[in-house]
Amino acid sequence: MRICLAGTGAMGAIHMKALKKIDGVEVVSVSSRTDAGGKAFAAEWNIPFSSTELEACIDRPGVDAVILTTPSHLHPEQTILALERGKHVQVEIPMSLGLPDAERMLAAAKKGGKVCMVTHTRRFSSPHREIRRRIKDGSFHLIHMVVETYFFRRTNLNMHGQPRSWTDNLLWHHGCHSVDLAYWILDEPNFAVWGQKGPDHPELGIPMDMTVAMKSKKGPLFSMAMSFNNKGPFGGFYRYIGEEETYKVYRDRMTDSEGKEVPLDSTIAFDRQDVEFVGAIREGREPESSAASCVPTMALLDRIDKSMSQG
């Protein structure tokens, strides 16, 4: 399988590490915002072609699929472009411009009969998969899911301290991942939702703090605090409060209420995710985290965003 990668930032490198482990997969082209950046990335990962023109990378001979790790505001048009050129697509940051764009992307995937997958990496993380399994088999009854998402991003730098060419939004990026997780964990699209946001940053133009609350018709609550003002460890911290136990999740680790490690599958979430994308293409099936399965998440985000605007 021959893949075109769009984007040479931190996420592009993570995908390259995962794709290198999959038999029969070759990244044959890479698209970058700058010519120098693209050439450097291509040399580092032994990719034979790079260009600042995404079309040129997509149209390289034999390209089967495109993985987009570009700025989120470009995703709808780039996804549709690739689908219309007959390529399968995995889009990195989830359908970030809202429900109408998500629906357009899904329509293009259906029309072309191609795999269109959203990179909701938490769906592929061993701790969250284990929580979902226990809820489904009835051994764990969730009462309250609490998520804290913290970064210190008062300047527009990525996780490696490098300047970014775009600004991500707490709700439509980080919040979207966590809202999707709540929906996926419970298999429940029907939440009552509410949100609030702090003032916009004078230079970045985005709110730096947000809270989101949701209540499932099945009973469990979801509470989320997000901040780009937090000094300290960055990332997502998850607490699953249940009838039987309270579990805490950070990255690929899960501990119980006494701090004891819960044994888990050791597969890296990004590895499992890219294996799923390739497998769905090879097997001609809908992948986990397909665009179709993620549209309900965007409907929830749309309602949360409207509640913030009205508040």
Whole-angstrom distance, CA of residue 71 vs CA of residue 105: 16
- β-pairing, 209-216 with 191-197? antiparallel
246 lies in a domain? Answer: yes
**Across 65-69, 169-173, 273-277, least confident range:** 169-173
Whole-angstrom distance, CA of residue 67 vs CA of residue 208: 29
Q: Please indicate, yes or no, whether residues 95 and 130 belong to a single structural domain of this protein.
A: no
Is the pTM for the entire model greater than 0.85? yes
Contact criterion met (CB below 8 Å) for 68 and 78: yes
Q: Please indicate, yes or no, whether residues 55 and 70 belong to a single structural domain of this protein.
A: yes
294 lies in a domain? Answer: no
**Number of domains present in the structure of the chain:** 2
Which residue range is the domain that position 133 belongs to? 122-265+299-310
Whole-angstrom distance, CA of residue 209 vs CA of residue 206: 9
Give me the pLDDT at residue 240, please. Answer: 98
Q: Please indicate, yes or no, whether residues 236 and 126 belong to a single structural domain of this protein.
A: yes
289: left (phi over 0), alpha (psi -120 to 50) or beta: left
Q: What is the pLDDT of residues 78-136, one digit of tens each?
A: 999 999 999 999 997 655 567 888 888 889 999 999 999 999 999 999 999 999 999 99
**Across 13-22, 85-94, 125-134, 146-155, least confident range:** 85-94
Task: Determine the average pLDDT of the residues in 228-244.
Answer: 92
The closest of 74, 69, 27 to 50, measured between CA atoms, is: 27
Q: Please indicate, yes or no, whether residues 67 and 213 belong to a single structural domain of this protein.
A: no
175 lies in a domain? Answer: yes
47 lies in a domain? Answer: yes
Q: Please indicate, yes or no, whether residues 108 and 232 belong to a single structural domain of this protein.
A: no
